[in-house]
Amino acid sequence: MARIGVFICHCGENIGRTVDCAAVSAAAAKMPGVVVGVDYKYMCSDPGQQMIRKAIIEQKLTGVVVGACSPRMHERTFRAAAAEAGLNPYLLEMANLREHCSWVHSNQAEATQKAIDLVRVMVAKVRRDRALRPIRVPVEPTALVVGGGIAGIQAALDIAAGGKKVVLVESGPSIGGHMARLSETFPTLDCSQCILTPRMVEAASHPNITLMTYSEVASVEGFVGNFTVTIRRKARYVDPAKCTGCGDCFNKCPIKKIPNKFDAGLGQRRAIYVPFPQAVPNKPVIDAAHCTMLQKGKCGLCAKVCPRGAIDYQDQDRLEKVKVGAVVLATGFQLWDHAAYGEYGGGRLRDVIDGFAFERLASASGPTGGLIKRPSDGKEPQTVVFLQCCGSRDDKVGKKYCSKICCMYTAKHAMLYRHKVHEGRAVVFYMDVRAAGKGYEEFVRRAIEADGAEYVRGRVSRITRRRDGKLVVRGADTLAGRPVTIEADLVVLADAVVPRPGSEKLAQLFGVGYDQDGFYSEAHPKLRPVETAAAGVFLAGACQAPKDIPETVSQASAAAAKVLGLFAKPELEREPVIARVNRTTCAHCRACISACPYGAAKDFDIVDRAGKILRAVADVNEGLCQGCGTCASVCRSHSVDLDGFTDEQIHAELNAL
């Protein structure tokens, strides 16, 4: 005999404001099989959970329905509470009265009616729930970190320091990411290279870290604890085992004028190259698209000069499989292309550059050796205009969101420029200065007060190039309430931070959600900010949202802690939502076997005691089954069913509607 308890949560006012919770619990109390129907302000709080535990024990409940928020939010919380009171946790179901009802409807009568319906559906379901036991699966204690920027490096180092193995995959020829391109970092003006490069070396030489540069994730199979990830090792055409990094090859390469992306196109590199001198590993790759040997079969100079015979023009992409238990995605960001702004030259004005280009100009290891020279004629600019929110906070042409880091790096740029060009004018156009962070506001004040950056509140409407090379910047000073025109030599646009191209495809491989801008979605914006909806896949850095270096490093360490926590136990428990075959009725038509995406459904021979095969049927491997239920719906004789979502349960839910 079913004894169901229904617990309706007000969620403060979140549900209670729109749904008449007392009416819902009263209606629930009258539903068949229900012996308890109550409502409470905060069901997830300790007194709320205590209420459920007490009812389970005192009323000898055989099932519980909690009408509250989305099960994605608190199903785990309530199931744990039920388990504490001795009820099998899979005998508790949630009706989603908040996300699917009170938050999306405003009419109280309609919302209350819907809430009652949703509760009735779950009561019908929970009456047919079976006690289930979680499935235990072994964990492969190796982590995969995708992205070799500061986020990936930090996560890899922390996991490695915890004594676990890490595979660090980077798509470029060197690790280091964007941070390696920066000149100095705010708010301390530490030299970026000086703080980053030792960590790059440490990551490359750590015995627990396997570095795979010039590599990409090709495919992913498996699930938390047991992923099999195929990595595409792109052809380098240089055998890293033989190469000593002497540099003879790239000093001799005749193809010289390829814009170097690392230098934001301001510097040039050869067809065989290392992106920057401090690269890790410091071993070149050949850019096949520009190499005449690979394109036309002519040249071969690098192979001739290489003293170790490391050049291999026959090299090809290789696929390598790694088995890992957890994944950290740290794919980072790039800057939005300001070519979309026709009024700022549409990307055609050479002296209108982005923030990275300015970083490279200011960097001691940059193409100008740290001298500020403008790209068009190499002259030192006497007036530089910095323009914040270029593409950020503009949902017409650019992005709706604030890119968060630009206020700070623009202040830094203005400061660096004034340190290098003492007589120069640095003018910053801003919408608001958002300098929340330790020492950040002080840093911006310093740029204005000590270093004399001129801050103008307003937008720039147009940038045009005059015949003498001057850039005429027309804008508005909204504080003074008048138009401003500035004749500048160089304009630096603080372009919006956007996810890396291909990040959506990567998210799909791992089953990770992403938002409309392509940033990866965390499992919960406040309480689970480094986890994703895909179990065992964690996030670090700007792939999740625009972030500065301290925040990125914090999140990377947090992701590493999550990975180490996962690896702390040799086995982990998995939801027991798996398919079962009724061997008595199975006719062995093999429809389920061909439909199963995991190869979990397979042939099984029923044998007698002598080992003679009596009959062949289908069977499901518990370890491999992920519980999609496709087998159950293709079964012609309804011999396959899915625990937690049985035919009987779904029909009962429909009958309750």
Partner 1 sequence: MMKTETSTAPAPAAFEPRITAFVCNWCTYAGADLAGTSRLQYASNMRIIKLPCTGRIDPLFVLKAFENGADAVLVSGCHPGDCHYTSGNYHARRRWTLFRKLLALTGIGDDRLFFSWVSAAEGQKFADLVNDVTAKVRKAGPFRAAHPGRRAL
Work out how close the CB of 578 gets to partner 1 at its nearest, in angstroms, rounded to a whole number. Answer: 10
**Contact mark string toward partner 1, 594..613, x via CB under 8 A:** -x-xx---------------
Cis peptide before 281 (omega within 30 of 0): yes
| Residue 230 engages partner 1 in binding (rule: CB under 8 A) | no
Sorted by sequence, the CB contacts under 8 Å of residue 270 that are 6+ apart come out as 250, 253, 255, 256, 258
Nearer to partner 1, 121 or 428 (CB): 121
Nearer to partner 1, 245 or 518 (CB): 518
- Produce one character per residue of 292-311: b if its CB has 16 or more CB atoms within 10 Å, e if not: ebbeeeebebbbeebeeebb
| Residue 391 engages partner 1 in binding (rule: CB under 8 A) | no
Work out how close the CB of 53 gets to partner 1 at its nearest, in angstroms, rounded to a whole number. Answer: 26
Nearer to partner 1, 99 or 548 (CB): 99
DSSP secondary structure letters along 132-163: --PEEEE---EEEEE--SHHHHHHHHHHHHTT
* Contact status, residue 179 vs residue 196, Cβ threshold 8 Å: yes
Interacting residues with partner 1 between 467 and 526 (CB under 8 A): 508, 511, 513-516, 521
DSSP state for residue 106 in the 8-state scheme = -
Residue selected from 2, 41, 117, 350 as contacting partner 1 according to rule CB under 8 A:
117
Residue selected from 47, 58, 80, 110 as contacting partner 1 according to rule CB under 8 A:
110
Work out the end-to-end distance of the chain between its first and last CA atoms, rounded to an integer number of angstroms: 22
Nearer to partner 1, 31 or 156 (CB): 31
| CA distances (Å), origin 603, targets 209, 587, 589, 600, 606 | 41, 11, 10, 10, 10
Q: Which amino acid is at 236?
A: R
Residue selected from 577, 589, 616, 624 as contacting partner 1 according to rule CB under 8 A:
577
SS3 37: strand
SS3 556: helix
Nearer to partner 1, 300 or 599 (CB): 599
DSSP secondary structure letters along 236-262: -SB-TTT-----HHHHH-S---EEPGG
| Residue 652 engages partner 1 in binding (rule: CB under 8 A) | yes
Work out how close the CB of 501 gets to partner 1 at its nearest, in angstroms, rounded to a whole number. Answer: 17
| Residue 653 engages partner 1 in binding (rule: CB under 8 A) | yes
| Residue 533 engages partner 1 in binding (rule: CB under 8 A) | yes
Instruction: Work out the angle between the directed axes of helices 108-126 and 647-655 (0-180°, nearest 10).
Output: 150
Of 106-114, 174-182, 375-383, 495-503: span binding partner 1 (CB under 8 A): 106-114
| Residue 212 engages partner 1 in binding (rule: CB under 8 A) | no
CA 122, CA 430: separation in Å to the nearest integer? 53
| Residue 582 engages partner 1 in binding (rule: CB under 8 A) | no
Work out how close the CB of 575 gets to partner 1 at its nearest, in angstroms, rounded to a whole number. Answer: 10
Interacting residues with partner 1 between 42 and 101 (CB under 8 A): 70, 72, 96, 98-101
Dihedral of the alpha carbons of 243, 245, 247, 249, in degrees to the nearest 10: 20
Nearer to partner 1, 478 or 585 (CB): 585
Nearer to partner 1, 409 or 598 (CB): 598
Nearer to partner 1, 462 or 636 (CB): 636
| Residue 124 engages partner 1 in binding (rule: CB under 8 A) | yes
Nearer to partner 1, 110 or 605 (CB): 110
Sorted by sequence, the CB contacts under 8 Å of residue 337 that are 6+ apart come out as 347, 495
Category of 599 on φ-ψ map: left (φ > 0), alpha (ψ -120 to 50) or beta: left
282: its two tokens: 């410091």
Work out how close the CB of 128 gets to partner 1 at its nearest, in angstroms, rounded to a whole number. Answer: 10
Neighbours of 606 (CB within 10 A): 13
Nearer to partner 1, 353 or 537 (CB): 537
Where do contacts with partner 1 occur on this chain (CB under 8 A)? 31-32, 70, 72, 96, 98-101, 103-107, 110-111, 113-114, 116-118, 120-121, 124, 508, 511, 513-516, 521, 533-534, 577, 595, 597-598, 626-630, 632-634, 642, 644-645, 647, 650-657
